[in-house]
Chains A and B, each alone.
Chain A
Amino acid sequence: MTDVTSSARDIAASVRAGRLSARDIVAETLERIERLDKVLNAFTHIGAERARVEAERIDAAVAAGNDPGPLAGATFAVKNLFDIEGVTTLAGSEINAAHPPAASDATAIRRLVAAGAIPLGALNMGEYAYDFTGENCHYGPSRNPHDPDRMSGGSSGGSGSAAASAMVTFTLGSDTNGSIRVPSSLCGLFGLKPTFGRLSRAGTFPFCASLDHIGPLARSAADLALVYDALQGPDPDDPVCTDRPAEPAAPALEGDAAGLRVSVAAGYFETLAEPVALAAVARAAKALGAKRMLEIPRAQEARSAAYVITASEAAALHRERLAARPMDFDPDVRDRLLAGALAPAQWYVRAQRFRAWYRRAVLKLFEDTDIVIAPNTPTTAPAIGQKTFTLGGQEMPVRANMGIFTQPISFIGLPVVAVPVAGVSDMPIGVQVIAAPWREADALSIAAALERDGVARSTIADPTETHA
């Protein structure tokens, strides 16, 4: 039976057929959020009135015999760096709380609402997206539904927490260095970081313009593809958004992925991964029959270059705020931004030049492979408040290093589907399914194949049963 925890595909089918009303979905969803968010702290704004208005519109369309859209009745919430009309865009900060409410929705929200999805509000995140933990000193940490004493991952922490607990059908996040993929891994979700420039970022608060992406988090590959398809299309309001027409991915998901050549990332991607992360890669690779190991050249330098570009651009963005009111920042973010503000320009330029070299070198690899499987997070979710962890025998800060395997991939904008791998650990962990630029559909079809085989699975977690 379809209910508010069902997939977007099933909810939309029921709503379009008149078997389920959007009004009832919203009422039940608000009750579920009320119960679960006391534990998880995923939401910073619950848009009940807006949700009821959108639900009435959908039910009216069905009653009139009109099609309310492919996502009809599916509920969603967004990382609070997306503009929601009438709501102040926090970007995880206290400073931006003084800003006026957004005058209009971000492009992504407009497109999802046009497809029949119902917005439920804004989600907690690491301040200004400079984070891999989901912690936030102003609003508290968003918590992992599989164990609320553990991190949700960041910086789209609330997006991971809300989707994995089925407070909403799916969520939106942003990913500059791994901020969709890390919460997807730690919370056991499918997440899509599309090709750089594929999806419009218009109406989102930036972090690092050279590397910022947006994308969805969901509990199945099919839902991820449905949402992704609704988000696609050119947008003159985002200068890096592609003019390529939409290339729908959902229709191809049921197809045979066996024709795709799959390799496994070696070298850098093996050295710092904990056994649990390598076990997830091995399980996915075995299911796909992938035996070829592939070394991505100079991945360590790529990660370092992404680090330098991020620090430099983010610090430049926040320059005036850092000078005027440094003590109003989250200390964990402020100190990194202050360091970035002092970086010599030649570091930044060399990093951007290296990016061009690395892009060329990695694209060459895709002449002989279609998909690369790599670890996502190096380990499962650390405890909330944990500052360091040990990887490959080295103690290092959690906040800066949970993305060691995601950074070298987003650095050149390759599309990645984060896939949760079942049966390797009590806590969730995922892998990255990486494709060539503009080949999101290939990565999604691999994710769907792994899900059909039972190797990939997202499980709804309800922590109120044990932590009420």
Chain B
Amino acid sequence: MTDETFPSERYVLLAAEAAGIDLPPELRAAVLQHFAILAEHAAHVMAAGLDDDIEPAPVFRP
């Protein structure tokens, strides 16, 4: 999932609809822009190879 291949606009509109989040037309351009920035950061993170035994950082103590 990289910046080039992630279908931001189609994904954002469908995901918002599925999640019940109203995206009025006047907000779409800004939200799409911020999602594109977020997707770029996510692409850096997804490209970082990690061994399977690396667990998420938070520790839950019952």
- New A-B pairs, 14, CB < 8 Å, besides A304-B44, A352-B56, A353-B55: A308-B41, A308-B42, A308-B45, A331-B30, A338-B23, A338-B27, A339-B12, A342-B15, A351-B42, A351-B45, A352-B57, A352-B58, A357-B48, A359-B57
CB-defined contacts of A452 to chain B, threshold 8 Å: none
Within 8 A of B (CB), among A322-353: 322-323, 326, 331, 334-336, 338-344, 346-347, 349-353
Flag B46-62 by CB within 8 Å of A: 1 or 0 each. Answer: 11101000111110000
Choose from B19, B27, B35, B57 the contact partner of A356 (Cβ within 8 Å).
Answer: B57
Q: A347 to B31, Cβ gap below 8 A?
A: no
Q: A354 to B22, Cβ gap below 8 A?
A: no
- Bound complex: CA of A400 vs CA of B41, how far in Å? 12
Q: A353 to B54, Cβ gap below 8 A?
A: yes
- Bound complex: CA of A308 vs CA of B48, how far in Å? 14
Q: B45 to A304, Cβ gap below 8 A?
A: yes
Closest B residue to A311 using CB positions: B38
Q: How many residues of A contact B (CB 8 A)?
A: 38
Given contacts A323-B21, A357-B50, whether A338 and B45 have CB atoms under 8 Å apart is no
Closest A residue to B61 using CB positions: A239
B13 to chain A, nearest CB (A): 9
Choose from B48, B54, B55 the contact partner of A298 (Cβ within 8 Å).
Answer: B48
A201 within 8 A of partner (CB)? no
Query: Could you jot down 14 A-B contacts, CB within 8 Å?
Result: A304-B40, A305-B45, A335-B30, A339-B31, A339-B34, A342-B11, A347-B42, A350-B42, A350-B45, A352-B57, A352-B58, A353-B54, A354-B50, A356-B55
Q: A335 to B27, Cβ gap below 8 A?
A: yes
Q: A357 to B54, Cβ gap below 8 A?
A: yes
CB-defined contacts of A344 to chain B, threshold 8 Å: 42
Given contacts A342-B12, A352-B58, whether A335 and B41 have CB atoms under 8 Å apart is no
- Bound complex: CA of A311 vs CA of B37, how far in Å? 11
Given contacts A323-B22, A342-B21, A354-B50, whether A301 and B30 have CB atoms under 8 Å apart is no
Choose from A300, A311, A326, A350 the contact partner of B27 (Cβ within 8 Å).
Answer: A326
- Bound complex: CA of A357 vs CA of B51, how far in Å? 9
Given contacts A354-B48, A356-B56, whether A342 and B35 have CB atoms under 8 Å apart is yes
CB-defined contacts of B30 to chain A, threshold 8 Å: 331, 335
Q: B22 to A343, Cβ gap below 8 A?
A: no
B53 to chain A, nearest CB (A): 10
- Bound complex: CA of A301 vs CA of B56, how far in Å? 15
Given contacts A301-B48, A326-B27, whether A343 and B42 have CB atoms under 8 Å apart is yes
A307 within 8 A of partner (CB)? yes
Within 8 A of A (CB), among B1-46: 11-12, 15-16, 19-24, 27, 30-31, 33-35, 37-38, 40-42, 44-46
Closest A residue to B59 using CB positions: A240
Q: B44 to A300, Cβ gap below 8 A?
A: yes
Closest B residue to A396 using CB positions: B37
Q: B22 to A326, Cβ gap below 8 A?
A: yes
B36 to chain A, nearest CB (A): 8
Choose from A322, A331, A336, A354 the contact partner of B45 (Cβ within 8 Å).
Answer: A354
A267 to chain B, nearest CB (A): 15
A459 within 8 A of partner (CB)? no
CB-defined contacts of A357 to chain B, threshold 8 Å: 48, 50, 54
Closest B residue to A334 using CB positions: B27
CB-defined contacts of B24 to chain A, threshold 8 Å: 326
B12 to chain A, nearest CB (A): 6
- Bound complex: CA of A322 vs CA of B31, how far in Å? 13
Q: A308 to B57, Cβ gap below 8 A?
A: no
CB-defined contacts of B34 to chain A, threshold 8 Å: 335-336, 338-339
- Bound complex: CA of A155 vs CA of B11, how far in Å? 30
Q: A353 to B56, Cβ gap below 8 A?
A: yes
A183 to chain B, nearest CB (A): 23
- Bound complex: CA of A355 vs CA of B37, how far in Å? 20
Choose from B21, B45, B46, B54 the contact partner of A341 (Cβ within 8 Å).
Answer: B21
Flag A18-51 by CB within 8 Å of B: 1 or 0 each. Answer: 0000000000000000000000000000000000
Choose from B31, B44, B48 the contact partner of A338 (Cβ within 8 Å).
Answer: B31
A128 to chain B, nearest CB (A): 15
Closest A residue to B15 using CB positions: A342
CB-defined contacts of B20 to chain A, threshold 8 Å: 323
Choose from B23, B35, B56 the contact partner of A355 (Cβ within 8 Å).
Answer: B56
